Structure 1
Amino acid sequence: MQILEQHQVPASPKPPPAAEGIGLRGQFNLLRWFSLGSFLIIAGVALALGYISTRFVVQESIERDSMLTAQFVQAIGAAEIRHASINPNRTIGEMLDPREDNAYPDVSAQARASSRGEFLDHVEHLPDLLLATVYAQDRTVVWSTNPELIGVRIEDDEELDESFEMKEPVSTSYHEIDEERPEQRLLREPEYLFIENYIPMFNADKSKVIAMVEIYKEPVDLVARIQRGFKTTWFATLLGGAAIYFGLFWIVWRAAKLLESQQKQLINNETFVALGEMSSAVAHSLRNPLANIRSSAELAQEVASHGAQKNIGDIINQVDRMSRWVRELLVSLRPMNEDQETVDLVLAIDDTLCAFEALIKRCGVEVRFTPMACTPVVSQQVLLTQILNSLFANALEAMPKGGVLSIEIESQHPGHLRMTLSDTGKGMSRQQQQMVFKPFFTTKQGGLGVGLALVKRIMERFDGSVELASQEQEGTRVSLNFKVATGEDHGAQHSTGRG
């Protein structure tokens, strides 16, 4: 159906200052800034949490392994003392320094050597061992799996000194061998992570550390578990961060769309408010003069000569056009009633065709419409009549030299009904189609530009929609998608009469 005639486009009304301010403030792109800001924040938090979590996993795993190693070595020492039938008041720590063999006369040399040999043999065969070393109190190496270290005195070793002074096991993890530390002469190159354990060995009353066992080990199984923990932690961190980011992005995207829609609606409302008082006053002021002009013209037409009757008829037609213009203006400015009715669409179309019968004949337009039984739709009788009057009037104006007006009704997906109105008029350009639903946009000489804007507003008010397709010189088609009345809607006011 042709809605716009091909005339010069009048300038659209300038939005009020409030609307202009809204437009300027609307330049801030909430979605873009949120996307960037939230990505940086969430990525930073996720990386920090991932790093802290992985460090915690490594630290806890190493400390746990070191504690078990220390307990195991100390347990071996206690077992060897019992196995060699040595005085239980003695400890394996007192047996480890060969230079002190004569310091304990209550322990035989054979028992001392036997317990020491068995203990060191167990230490040497610990799983994942890289290097094992025993230090005397003066930090001299008295035994090592690397013979080159035996007899070497280690100085300035903070971890070794700390373990002697604090009387507690000390553990440190490394990824590379420190060439400057002479005690790190490992028997083989570690592949990934290796751990250094200092295990204090006490005297009988545990008041003094008299020997220190240093063990370098590469816990292959522990390293494998740590690596799996790394992967799991980083994967969970990435997945969680992505879930939070996209969840928040979706919420803000919806909010941005809602704000954009509300902003457009606010601008439209501002425009209507700005023009409301003036337009309403003008419209009400014009109604009575137009009625008087039409009445006078009708009286004059009865007594006028044949030549003058055509001119008087033109006056009446133009008055009717102005009256329709005033009526559309008043309807567009009036707040919409929230009540909905069930309306018989076919009867409403028949009423509109009857109202436009004379104009249809005068324009030489062929109407193609086959009435059919259909489910009532949700709307209001008065507003639906306004929609049909606006669409029919513009369709006929698009075909002043005749054409075909087609009306079709078809069921859409469940709960919806579509009415399609097609004409063979001049059609519209693509640019005009993009602007056609904007309030106060028109290409008709003297047009108001509220017709289709009002149609769209009414249809959306009742959960419907309007679609338009047009081709220049081929015509226009407008589709009205109605919500079908349900049982609850039938319980509301039912309106099917002719208006």
Structure 2
Amino acid sequence: MPILEQQQEPAPITPAVAGQSRGGQFNLLRWFSLASFFIIAAVALGLGYISTRFVVTESIERDSMLTAQFIQAIGDAEIRHALIDPARTMGEMLDPRLDNAYPDVSPGTRAAARIEFLDHVEHLPDILLATVYALDRTVVWSTNPELIGVRIKDDDELDSSFEMKELVSTSYHEIDDERPEQKLLREPEYLFVENYIPMFNADRSKVVAMVEIYKEPVDLVERIQRGFKAIWLATVLGGLVIYLGLFWIVRRASMLLQSQQKQLITNETFVALGEMSSAVAHSLRNPLANIRSSAELAQEIASQNAQKNIGDIINQVDRMSRWVRELLVSLRPMNDDCETVDLVLAIDDTLSAFDALIKRSNVQVRFTPQACPPVVSQQVLLTQILNSLFANALEAMPKGGQLSIDIEQTQPGHVRMTLSDTGKGMTKQQQQMVFKPFFTTKQGGLGVGLALVKRIMERFEGSVELISQEQEGTRVCLNFKAATGGEYGAQHIAGRG
């Protein structure tokens, strides 16, 4: 805390964080966001396009097939209605130039059957243009009289339908002025379909005529447009759900990786510094002990004027010894074995230990003990946490002040202890660095106190928070995990015994 009265030392060198290389920092979340967005968008657009094309193609082909079946069924029905020999087909009746080519059918009967058939064709729903081609590609009938008698050349679709004996259908959005047969009676609004319907002879071995139907299937177009909207809406929503789901997973993974990387860096720092510092600390212990012993002996025989200087030597040796002790404790591997610890009792013990210093510092302590469940920690480590926080708070108030201690059960299974002082406080920058190992703002400080507090609290599934304002003071909150009900009862029974 200033709880730390800080004269800032140079910031420690920190290893590269997760995803950082010498060439710069690789931001996993940013690159995933961009890459996944473009990939999912491309896949969604591709699927949407393929789906809409499939719907259009299948719908048009289905409509064309039904139209062809209807036209051919009308032809068969008119042949039967006119009492023409079933060996004849409507395809053989459509060319008026051949009315005398079949002696078994009178020209009048042929003409009557043809007129009835063409009347049905002319009044088909949604029709734009209907044309009948003879075998030589001459238009022998059309709803547009201008086309009658015209011979169509170089029409690949017409030739393909004659030669392959199959229905050919094509969809258009605009009239092709270069095609003479596309002289529609009215301008289509959106989509129109061209159908070539082959008409066969009796044994279906030869196409003898071709019926061409241009139609604008209004109802089909409306259904296609509704299908487009549904497909694109489902595609966009599906892509968005997939993107957000993957983004959430990767964001969680990125945060976890960063947390683990920071923890790994902290552990590596403690290990590396531990190996070096342990050797240095152990080497300093004996010389410091010898210096202190020699100073105490000298103090017994020294003059009054030298007493103060020798006392300063002893105080500085004690401070260096305390640094060595703190350094060794902070670098020592921690035991994960947890205990149930009485927090109120631990605070009382710490206040008793600091009683003399509290009085000398002219600090008023406000603490009202109240019942609370025991917390999960270790007695020795909890004492070390409280000692560090109390020492920082008192050093932050050299001219006196107030130290407040509050305990509350924030929610079931958790206990919060809040330690507040009225010291000098800290800047925003200092608050960001205060839990970093070996960062300190105190003259001659070591910078392991609060880092060790954070490490111990997190080891036992707790946390520590620090809030500070310059010239107003600092508040540190320790969030403990409360012991279970069985452990709590056992603790109180042991206490009463």
Which interval holds the TM-score relative to the shorter structure? over 0.9
1:359-394 Cα deviation digits (max 9, x unpaired) = 222222222211111111111111111100101111
Closer, same or farther: CA 325–182 of 1 in aligned 2, 3 Å: same
Q: How does 1:400-479 map to 2 (within 5 A)?
A: 400-479=398-477
Aligned match for 1:328, one of 310, 317, 326: 326
CA change 1:335–1:474 in 2 (3 A) is: same
35 and 496 in structure 1: CA distance in 2 versus 1, 3 angstrom threshold: farther
Residue ranges of structure 1 left out of the alignment (5+ in a row): none
Could you list the per-position Cα deviations for residues 281-319 of structure 1 after superposition, in whole angstroms to 9, with x for gaps in the alignment? 122233344445555656666676766655555444434
Q: Does 1:76 align with 2:79?
A: no
CA contact (8 A) 1:342 1:496 kept: no
Residue 175 (structure 1) aligns with: 173
DSSP 3-state at the match of 1:477: strand
Distance in 2 between the 1:256 and 1:438 partners? 22
Q: What secondary structure does 1:408 align onto? A: strand
Q: Could you tell me how far apart the structure 1 residues matched to 2:17 and 2:306 are?
A: 50
User: 5 Å matches for 1:324-403?
Assistant: 324-403=322-401
Q: CA deviation at 1:410?
A: 1.6
CA distance in 2, matches of 1:132, 1:191: 18
Counterpart-to-counterpart distance in 2, 1:22 and 1:494: 51
Once the two structures are TM-superposed, the CA of residue 336 in structure 1 deviates from its matched residue by: 1.7
TM-score (norm 1): 0.93
Q: CA deviation at 1:474?
A: 2.3
What letter matches 1:170 in structure 2? V
Q: Do structure 1's residue 48 and structure 2's residue 46 form an aligned pair?
A: yes
Which residue, out of 211, 214, 221, partners 1:213?
Answer: 211
Partner of 2:411, secondary structure, is coil
- Is 1:261 matched with 2:256? no
In structure 1, the residue matched to 2:5 is 5
Conservation of the 8 A alpha-carbon contact between 1:96 and 1:211: yes
The residue number in structure 1 matching 2:125 is: 127
Amino acid at match of 1:5: E
Partner of 1:265: helix, strand, or coil? helix
Q: 1:19 to 1:80 in 2, by over 3 A?
A: closer
Aligned residue pairs: how many? 495
Which moved further from structure 2: 413-422 or 155-164?
413-422
CA–CA distance in structure 1, aligned partners of residues 71 and 21 of structure 2: 77
Which amino acid in the other structure matches residue 441 of structure 1? F
Task: Give the Å deviation of 1:30.
Answer: 1.6
* Alpha-carbon spacing, 1:360–1:371, altered in 2? closer, same or farther (3 Å): same
CA distance in 1, matches of 2:122, 2:255: 71
For the 8 Å contact 2:6–2:440, the answer to whether it is kept is: no
Q: Decide whether aligned partners of structure 1 residues 222 and 195 sit closer, same or farther in structure 2, where only a CA change above 3 A counts.
A: same
Cα 1:326–1:377 change in 2 (3 A) is same
Distance 1:432 1:115 in 2: 101
**What CA distance in whole angstroms lies between the structure 1 residues aligned with 2:120 and 2:493?**
100
Task: Work out the CA distance in 2 between the residues paired with 1:361 and 1:303.
Answer: 32
Of 417-426 and 159-168, deviating more is: 417-426
Contact 2:350–2:387 (8 Å) recurs in 1: yes
> Is the Cα contact below 8 Å between 2:3 and 2:394 reproduced in 1?
no
What's the CA shift for 1:193? 0.4
Task: Classify 1:437/1:487 alpha carbon distance in 2 versus 1 (closer, same or farther; 3 Å).
Answer: same
2:89 matched to which residue of 1? 91
Shift of 1:323: 3.0
Secondary structure, aligned partner of 1:412: strand
Deviations 1:111-155 (A, max 9, x none): 212211111111111111111111110111111111111111111
Q: 1:101 Cα shift? A: 0.7
Taking a change above 3 Å as real, the CA distance of residues 299 and 20 of structure 1, as seen in their structure-2 partners, is farther
Q: 2:109 aligns with which of 102, 105, 111?
A: 111
Please list every run of 5 or more consecutive structure 2 residues that lacks an aligned counterpart in the other structure. Answer: none
- Among candidates 253, 259, 274, match of residue 272 of structure 2: 274
Check conservation: 1:466, 1:479, Cα contact below 8 A: yes
Most deviating of 258-267 and 442-451: 258-267
State the TM-score, normalized to the length of structure 2.
0.93
* Structure 1 residue 266 displacement after superposition: 2.7
Deviations 1:172-231 (A, max 9, x none): 000001111111111111000000000000011111111100000000110001101111
Question: Aligned partners of 2:17, 2:128: CA distance in 1, in Å?
Answer: 77
Residue 335 of structure 1 aligns with an amino acid whose one-letter code is: P
Higher mean alpha-carbon deviation, 465-474 vs 443-452, is at 465-474
CA distance 1:92–1:19, change in 2 (3 Å): closer
Partner of residue 240, structure 1: 238
Partner of 1:14: 13
Distance 1:441 1:264 in 2: 16
State the identity as a percent: 83
Contact 1:426–1:475 at 8 Å: present in 2 too? yes
Q: Which amino acid aligns with 1:3?
A: I
Structure 1: distance between partners of 2:340 and 2:137: 100
> Are 1:54 and 1:233, in contact at CA under 8 Å, matched by a contact in 2?
yes
Deviation at 1:58, TM superposition (A): 0.5
Distance in 1 between the 2:319 and 2:251 partners?
46
- CA separation of 1:358 and 1:495: change in aligned 2, threshold 3 A: farther
Alpha-carbon distance, 1:347 to partner: 0.5
Distance 1:445 1:277, change over 3 A: same
- Paired residue secondary structure (1:480): strand
| Aligned-pair CA distance for 1:26 | 6.2
1:187 is aligned to 185
Residue 476 of structure 2 aligns to a residue whose secondary structure is strand
Say if 2:475 is the partner of 1:487: no
Contact 2:9 2:440 in 1 (8 A): yes
* 1:26–1:439 distance in 2 versus 1, CA, 3 Å: farther
* Residues in 1 aligned to 2:302 and 2:18: alpha-carbon distance in whole angstroms: 54
Cα distance change on mapping 1:21 and 1:193 into 2, 3 Å: closer
Q: Residue 217 and residue 22 in structure 1: after superposition, are their counterparts in 2 closer, same or farther (change >3 A)?
A: closer
Report the Cα distance in structure 2 between the residues aligned to 1:428 and 1:196, rounded to whole angstroms. Answer: 82
Q: RMSD of aligned C-alpha atoms?
A: 2.5
Q: Which amino acid aligns with 1:4?
A: L
Q: Which residue of 1 aligns with 2:99?
A: 101
